[in-house]
Amino acid sequence: MNGRPVKRSLTLKGHRTSVSLEDVFWTAFREIATEKGVPINALAAEIDAERDMETGLASAIRVYVLSHYRG
């Protein structure tokens, strides 16, 4: 298993941004979006809107994924 982050682009509020996550988090993030029936960009925008601005988007996504599977 490769633990290195992979940078991918997302679109939030009409703007492109890059997010670096490990493959396991990208996979889980896509699975959650599919489960919820929303595009990954929409789920990222939801997480972005709810996060504390002192928390990076990648960290917020990791915490979201972890919370989803723990809950």
User: Low-confidence residues of the chain, pLDDT below 50?
Assistant: none
**What pLDDT is recorded for position 3?**
83
Q: Six-digit token pair at 42?
A: 């929409």
Within 13 Å of residue 33, how many CA atoms lie on the same side as its CB?
17
pLDDT score recorded for residue 1: 61
- Round to whole Å and give the CA distance between 56 and 37: 25
- Of the candidates 49, 69, 51, the one whose C-alpha atom is nearest the C-alpha of residue 60 is 51
Distance between CA atoms of residues 52 and 35, nearest Å: 25
Domains of the chain: 5-70 (1.10.3990.20)
